[in-house]
A and B are shown apart, each in its own frame.
Chain A
Amino acid sequence: MLHVKNLTAAIGDKQILKGLDLDVGDGEVHAIMGPNGSGKSTFAHALAGRDGYEIAGEATLDGADLLDMEPEERAAAGVFMGFQYPVEIPGVNNMYFLRTALNSVRKARGETEVGARNFLQIAHEAMELVDMNEDFLNRAVNAGFSGGEKKRNEILQMAVMQPRLAILDETDSGLDIDALRVIAGGVNALRGPDRSMIVITHYQRLLDYIKPDFVHVLVGGRIVESGDYTLALHLEDHGYADFVNTDLNDAPERPLTGAPS
């Protein structure tokens, strides 16, 4: 469904992504791991359409050219991004925000908008997934939320939006182990044959709960290694040292299991 080829991204003179290739099939969950500054978040924003980058290369979703679309058009095409730092919008009711978001993409797709009563049902089902109570809907979007609440709110939004492709940018950062479990539970419940996910993380820990089909190592703006879940375990033991400032051919021996995508 997602096809990325030779994707580059720069801010001014600074080249961040240097030719990234990735293919994600229907229903697959891909983990992208890498050290700080390797370009993980930039990759996520490049797919979601944030302003300020010079982008080149290819990125298509179900054959449609993402790079040619505005962020809201990408959302309508089915791209959802779970933000590392969810943004606060004071005074805007969370429920109103969610419903406006859902109806915006439905409208863009030529579908009928969801009325207040039906929406409430959708919201309640989504809230159960991430263990949230009613008053959560009546607070302003992320305003005064704890770190864990903000991340849960992202997954709640994902559950409401039912995206084709979910990109979760460091959804595990700043979470204690209980919150991590809740969020991973929500994400797992949303896995399905028509939905693919890209899970970006520093740590293997999250992947204990969200088992990826594939793991990729992003270093210096390129994917330098791909494998299955065991690659994450290897990184946990050895860190990224093997891949940083090292020619891949010189990398130490390690058991190669599972096929790269």
Chain B
Amino acid sequence: MSETMREIEELTDAAYEFGFSTDLDTDVAPPGLDEDIVRLISAKKDEPEWLLDWRLQAFAAWKTMDEPDWAKLDIAPIDYEAISYWAAPKKKPVLESMDEVDPEIREMFDKLGIPLHEQKMLSNVAVDAIVDSVSVTTTFKETLAEAGVIFCSFSEAVQDHPDLVREHLGSVVPVRDNFFAALNSAVFSDGSFCYIPKGVRCPMELSTYFRINSQNTGQFERTLIVAEDDSHVSYLEGCTAPQRDENQLHAAVVELVAKDRAEIKYSTVQNWYPGDENGLGGIYNFVTKRGRAHTDAKISWTQVETGSAITWKYPSVILQGDRSVGEFYSVALSSKRQQADTGTKMIHIGADTTSSIISKGISAGHGQNTYRGLVKVMRSADNARNYTQCDSLLLGKDCGAHTVPYIEVKNPGAQIEHEASTSTVGEDQLYYCRQRGMTEEDAMSMIVNGFCREVFNELPMEFAVEAQRLLSVSLEGSVG
């Protein structure tokens, strides 16, 4: 093995930084899933009848469905009866200020570097923090309320804004959309809700941090963002989980509704526990994310995926209104034994709709990284345009990169471009950097970050810094 190869192996062999677990007193339902559990969840949350009916409908649909098997993922069978579908920290928090947050939870968030405390007010980030299944606290509610923005946990939204929730829940991702979306619809525990009124530009970045803490629990959050005409919002979610030997299931649904001329920018930094180098443990991440863009609206997905043992995720845009715009920027890193099958779907329905896809896949160790993307142009979508660029970077010889683009065009006026490249970090690049005094590790990190530049440029500033750091840490050997 050459020196560089060995270096790459060391670099990609970093230990998981967020692998601590916090000793919280937790209220957990017995494992297994049946109608009673669905009713229990709904009752625990004191939900209205219509929502229980909606859940039961989803549960009935789920029972008739099979797990999707078309992705290039090798997954050990999931025992849905062994999972607990409800876990909540016992002190159900009804909080007026940060000081009331359980100190242990606060300490956990401090470890994660999450801006919950006062000094972070300067960073202008409003945070909804979700531990296991329950939203613990939402900061900056007042500042947002002045602008008319609603940003709260999903449960609160169900109580306080039932009409808004009822109107939009399932409008983008219907209950029978797919196996995991149906499961989520039946058992979702909490999540975030965000509503931007007409003409309002949300005064700050909104942010959700997800954390799976309890053992043997699944996490099923539901995020719903509604941006009314001429509004604008930028939203970020971050995810971590403790290090555990067994796999944990995460099946989330995110729905975005961008009304006329509205803009939603949704950024994700996903760092769930990836499992160890032998493939033991790690999060199974099955996520359905989709947005509907009305006339002249724009939806932009940016994701940096460095975690999870399994990633199954295709943030999509339905370009329904004329001149609507969909964007997808993605960095997906698979190292150790991680497998990622991720990409996007751009469904062009309106005329003069535009979509662009920039996907950067990095494979290292024994990682397998697949880009799977659909560009679909319906008959109605005159002058639709798509540009797709898929770049893969291979670090080492035991990993794999795969690109599976699907293009379906039913309108002859469409313009579709697809570019793809596969490369590796060259010995000559490393040598060049080292001759300029950089260590091999720093050089590797710099080159890989450069490869991801186009995507990082799309992230809000402070999260771009975090993403870079995360990528470096994920590639670092000296830490482990």
A-side residues, CB < 8 A to B, are 48-51, 70-72, 74-76, 79-81, 83, 86-92, 97, 100-102, 104-105, 108, 140-141, 157, 161
Interface flag for B120 (CB, 8 Å)? no
Given known contacts A51-B431, A86-B432, A97-B446, A91 and B438 CB-to-CB distance under 8 angstroms: no
Say whether B49 faces chain A, with CB atoms less than 8 Å apart.
no
Nearest chain B CB to A197 CB, angstrom units: 16
B451 and A71 within 8 A (CB) = no
Residue pairs across A and B with Cβ atoms less than 8 A apart, 14 shown, are: A49-B435, A70-B434, A71-B434, A72-B435, A79-B435, A83-B432, A83-B435, A87-B429, A87-B431, A89-B450, A91-B449, A92-B446, A97-B433, A101-B436
B68 at the interface (CB under 8 A from A): no
Docked CA distance A49–B447 (Å): 20
Chain B 421-455 interface residues, beta-carbon cutoff 8 Å to A = 426-429, 431-440, 442, 446-447, 449-454
State the CA gap A140–B241 with chains docked (Å).
36
Contact in complex: B434, A76 (CB < 8 Å):
no
> Please, which residues of chain B bring their CB within 8 A of the CB of A50?
431
The reply to whether A72 and B439 contact each other, CB–CB distance below 8 Å, is yes
Residues of chain B contacted by A80 (CB below 8 angstroms): 435
**A104 lies within 8 A of B446 (CB):** no
Residue of B439, B449, B450, B453 with most partner-chain A CB within 10 A: B450
Give the shortest distance, in Å, between B1 (CB) and chain A (any CB).
13
Question: When A51-B3, A51-B427, A97-B446 are in contact, do A89 and B432 touch as well, CB less than 8 Å?
Answer: yes
Tell me if B2 is interfacial: C-beta within 8 Å of chain A.
yes
CA distance A88 to B2 in the complex (A): 22
In the complex, the 10 A-B pairs of residues with the closest C-beta atoms, listed nearest first: A91-B450, A91-B453, A92-B450, A101-B436, A75-B437, A105-B437, A104-B437, A71-B434, A87-B432, A72-B434
Q: How far is the CA of A74 from the CA of B452 in the complex (A)?
A: 30
Interface size range on B against A: 20 to 34
Of chain B, the residue at the smallest CB distance from A96 is B446
Q: Is A72 a contact of B438 with CB atoms below 8 Å?
A: yes
* Distance A90 CA – B433 CA, assembled complex (angstroms): 13
- Report which of A79, A89, A108, A161 forms a contact with B447, defined as CB distance below 8 A: A89
- CA–CA, A90 to B4, complex, Å? 20
Which interface residue of B2, B434, B446 has the most chain A CB atoms within 10 A?
Answer: B434
- Return the contact of B451 from the options A75, A90, A105 (Cβ within 8 A): A90
B183 to chain A, nearest CB (A): 39
Q: In whole angstroms, what is the CA distance A161 to B435 when docked?
A: 11
Is there an interface contact between B431 and A71, defined as CB atoms closer than 8 Å?
Answer: yes
Instruction: Specify the chain B residue showing the minimal Cβ separation from A85.
Output: B428
Q: Is the CB of A92 within 8 A of B437?
A: no
- Asked if A81 contacts B3 (CB within 8 A), the reply is no
**Least Cβ–Cβ distance between A46 and chain B, in angstroms:** 13
Query: Residue on A with the closest CB to B391?
Result: A90
Closest A residue to B452 by CB, please name it: A91
Chain B interface mostly helix, strand, loop or mixed?
A: helix
* Nearest CB of A to B461, in Å: 15
CB nearest to B425 among chain A residues: A89
Residue numbers of B with Cβ under 8 A of A are: 2-4, 426-429, 431-440, 442, 446-447, 449-454
For B429, the closest partner residue in chain A by CB is A87
Contacting pair B450 A72 (CB below 8 A):
no
Q: How far is the CB of B232 from chain A (nearest CB, A)?
A: 28
Q: Which chain A residues border B4 with CB–CB below 8 Å? A: 51
Contacts of B453 in A (CB 8 A): 90-92, 140
Q: Which of B433, B435, B446 contacts A81 (CB 8 A)?
A: B435
Complex Cα distance A102/B438, Å? 9
User: Which residue of the partner chain, among B427, B433, B435, B454, contacts A91 with CB atoms under 8 Å?
Assistant: B454
Specify which chain A residues have a CB less than 8 angstroms from the CB of B434 in the assembled complex.
49, 70-72, 75
CA gap between A104 and B442 in the complex, in Å: 9
Q: Which residue of B lies closest to A82 (CB)?
A: B435
Residues of chain B within 8 A (CB-CB) of A76 are 437
**B432, A161: Cβ atoms under 8 Å?**
no
- In angstroms, Cα B434 to Cα A72, docked, is 5
Q: Is the CB of B436 within 8 A of A104?
A: yes
Q: How far is the CB of A108 from chain B (nearest CB, A)?
A: 7
Task: Give the docked Cα–Cα distance between A232 and B426 (Å).
Answer: 36
Q: Are B447 and A92 in contact (CB under 8 A)?
A: yes
Contact A87/B437 with A92-B450, A104-B442, A140-B450 known, Cβ cut-off 8 Å: no
Residues of B within 8 Å of A79, CB to CB, are: 435
Known contacts A71-B434, A89-B429, A100-B442, then 13 further A-B pairs from the complex at CB < 8 Å, ordered by chain A residue: A51-B2, A72-B438, A72-B440, A81-B435, A87-B428, A89-B446, A91-B450, A91-B454, A92-B446, A92-B453, A97-B436, A100-B446, A102-B437
List residues of chain B with CB within 8 A of the CB of A141.
Answer: 450
The one of A88, A89, A101, A140 in contact with B437, judged by C-beta atoms closer than 8 angstroms, is: A101
* Cα A19 to Cα B171 with chains together (Å): 77
When distances are taken between beta carbons in the complex, the residues of chain B under 8 Å from A72 are: 434-435, 437-440
CB distance from B96 to the nearest CB of A (A): 42
Chain B residue with minimal CB distance to A92?
B450
Q: Contacts A51-B2, A89-B429 given: A157-B446 contact, CB under 8 Å?
A: no
- Whether A104 pairs with B449 at a CB distance below 8 angstroms is no
Q: How far is the CA of A71 from the CA of B436 in the complex (A)?
A: 8
A75 to B434, CA, bound (A): 8
Q: How far is the CA of A101 from the CA of B426 in the complex (A)?
A: 18
Q: Is A92 a contact of B449 with CB atoms below 8 Å?
A: yes
Min Cβ gap B449→A in Å is 7
CB distance from B371 to the nearest CB of A (A): 18
- Complex CA–CA separation, A50 to B436 (angstroms): 12
Query: Most chain-B Cβ atoms within 10 A of its Cβ — which of A71, A74, A97?
Result: A71
Bound together, the chains give a CA A50 to CA B451 distance in angstroms of 24
Residue of B nearest to A75 (CB): B437
Q: How far is the CA of A86 from the CA of B439 in the complex (A)?
A: 18
Residues from chain A with Cβ under 8 Å of B449 in the complex: 91-92
A176-B459 Cα distance, complex, nearest whole Å: 42
A50 to B439, CA, bound (A): 14
Q: Shortest CB–CB separation between residue B333 and chain A, in angstroms?
A: 15
Cα distance, A90 to B423, chains bound together (Å): 12
On chain A, the residues within 8 Å of B439 by CB distance are 72, 104
